[in-house]
């Protein structure tokens, strides 16, 4: 498979590089002049020819330069990308933004989305961290009007679920607090299974609350990802290949349809350990919507406890090295923040 000569690899790299820069088919002459190559354009043409036969390049038409194919990008990303560290200046800029933001996940998530979108000039995807195992942490019952009660459920990890309960009978705030305290004691660090196995209480109202708790925990356990944050939609629209609007629609559709996006994230990132980066080029024959796009995804958080996904969706013609580095760095930052603020 990896039968390319060194020179062919260099040329493929350069074509990819030049094409990401200009968004134009790359001609043989352009290449030697742009990168000061010591070989003639004819030689480059010959090599390009073999690369084309191998399926790594293609010509839009007979007398045009070459453009990398999906396979070309794939080969480039898996074998040729040079993982350069993010420039210190960039790292500082990013870190600075987190530093001067308000503390708290609800501020960091949109911030991460915005930082990623700006840095990559593409669409960013950020999901709130979510724990695979749902564990009870704390319950609170707050009297509102008449028999209505606001139930606030805190899960280990820090996720908060709320629900309005209509109780069968009216209780005072003191009574409610007592019930909550009782359940808090009983359910300390309990899993959903453990809660389901517990015997019924004597007070039917307690049972009603327990049922609601179990219900909410059940909902939480079925979530693949937490809240979703997107940013940078307009960046994509600025890309020259989208001058004709139609190719835009499909990838944007993907972002709007949660099930698809969840599927995408579930099938890629969540199978990955934290720190790994997955690159999907052209939808990999699975997501039709992503024909001319690439998605780069990674996971952040604390393993086995609370983790979410970070991603970039952009044109296939994308500065992979830089984008991957940025994504890695933001993931690192976010992991740190999550672990510093873990509720357990």
Partner DNA sequence: TTTTAGCACTCTCGGGCTGAGAGTGCTAAT
Partner DNA sequence: ATTAGCACTCTCAGCCCGAGAGTGCTAAAA
List the interface residues with its own copies, window 9-68 (CB under 8 A).
Answer: none
Contact between 98 and 300 under an 8 Å Cβ cutoff? The reply is no
| Choice from 142, 206, 214, 274 touching its own copies (CB under 8 A) | 142
Answer yes or no whether residue 242 interacts with its own copies by CB under 8 A: yes
248 binds, among its own copies, DNA, none (CB under 5 to 8 A by kind): its own copies
Three-state SS at 89: helix
Answer yes or no whether residue 33 interacts with DNA by CB under 7 A: no
List the interface residues with its own copies, window 64-103 (CB under 8 A).
Answer: 102-103
Measured CA to CA in angstroms, residue 5 lies from 9, 37, 51, 85 at distances of: 6, 16, 10, 27
Answer yes or no whether residue 177 interacts with its own copies by CB under 8 A: yes
| Choice from 6, 168, 244, 273 touching its own copies (CB under 8 A) | 244
The window from 51-59, 132-140, 203-211, 324-332 that contacts its own copies (CB under 8 A) reads: 132-140
| Choice from 49, 178, 191, 221 touching DNA (CB under 7 A) | 49
| Choice from 9, 10, 43, 227 touching DNA (CB under 7 A) | 43
Question: Residue count at the site for DNA (CB under 7 A)?
Answer: 24
256 binds, among DNA, its own copies, none (CB under 5 to 8 A by kind): its own copies
317 binds, among its own copies, DNA, none (CB under 5 to 8 A by kind): none
Question: Residue count at the site for its own copies (CB under 8 A)?
Answer: 41
* DSSP state letters, 269-308: GGGSPTT-EEEEEGGGGT-GGGTTEEEEEEEEEETTTEEE
Contact between 54 and 2 under an 8 Å Cβ cutoff? The reply is no
The residues, ordered by sequence, that sit 6+ positions from 146 with a Cβ below 8 Å of its Cβ are 170
| List of long-range contacts for 51-59, beta carbons under 8 Å, 24+ apart | 51/4, 51/8, 51/11, 51/12, 51/15, 54/3, 54/4, 56/12, 57/12, 57/15, 59/25
Answer yes or no whether residue 52 interacts with DNA by CB under 7 A: yes
200 binds, among its own copies, DNA, none (CB under 5 to 8 A by kind): none
Which residues are registered as beta bridge partners of 153?
A: 139, 161
163 binds, among its own copies, DNA, none (CB under 5 to 8 A by kind): its own copies
Residue 253 is inside which H or E element, if any?
helix 246-256
Three-state SS at 9: helix
25 binds, among DNA, its own copies, none (CB under 5 to 8 A by kind): DNA
Helical pair 6-22 and 28-35, crossing angle rounded to 10 deg: 90
Residues that bind DNA (CB under 7 A): 25-30, 38-43, 45-46, 48-49, 52, 59, 61-66
């Amino acid at each position: 498979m990896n039968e390319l000569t060194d020179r062919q690899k260099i040329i493929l790299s350069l074509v990819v590089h030049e094409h990401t820069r200009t968004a134009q088919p790359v001609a043989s002459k352009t290449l030697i002049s742009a990168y000061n190559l010591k070989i003639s354009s004819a030689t480059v043409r010959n090599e390009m020819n073999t690369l084309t036969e191998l399926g790594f390049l293609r010509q839009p038409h007979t007398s045009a330069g070459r453009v990398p194919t999906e396979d070309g990008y794939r080969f480039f990303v898996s074998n040729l990308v040079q993982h350069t560290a993010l420039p210190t200046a960039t790292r500082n800029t990013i870190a600075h933004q987190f530093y001067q933001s308000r503390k708290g996940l609800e501020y960091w998530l949109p911030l991460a989305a915005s930082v990623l979108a700006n840095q990559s000039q593409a669409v960013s995807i950020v999901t709130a961290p979510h724990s695979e195992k749902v564990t009870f942490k704390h319950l609170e019952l707050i009297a509102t009007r008449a028999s209505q009660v606001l139930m606030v459920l805190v899960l280990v990890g820090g996720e908060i679920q709320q629900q309005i309960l209509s109780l069968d009978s009216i209780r005072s705030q003191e009574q409610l607090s007592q019930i909550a305290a009782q359940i808090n004691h009983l359910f300390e660090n309990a899993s959903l299974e453990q809660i389901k196995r517990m015997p019924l209480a004597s007070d039917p109202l307690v049972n009603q609350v327990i049922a609601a708790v179990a219900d909410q925990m059940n909902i939480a356990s079925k979530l693949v990802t937490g809240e979703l944050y997107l940013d940078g939609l307009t960046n994509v629209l600025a890309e020259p290949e989208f001058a004709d609007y139609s190719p835009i629609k499909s990838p944007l559709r993907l972002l709007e349809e949660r099930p698809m996006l969840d599927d995408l994230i579930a099938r890629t990132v969540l199978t990955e350990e934290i720190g790994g980066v997955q690159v999907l080029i052209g939808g990999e024959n699975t997501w039709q919507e992503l024909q001319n796009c690439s998605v780069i995804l990674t996971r952040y958080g604390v393993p086995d406890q609370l983790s979410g996904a970070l991603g970039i969706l952009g044109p296939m013609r994308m500065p992979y090295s830089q984008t991957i580095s940025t994504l890695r760095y933001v993931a690192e930052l976010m992991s740190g923040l999550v672990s510093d603020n873990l509720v357990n």
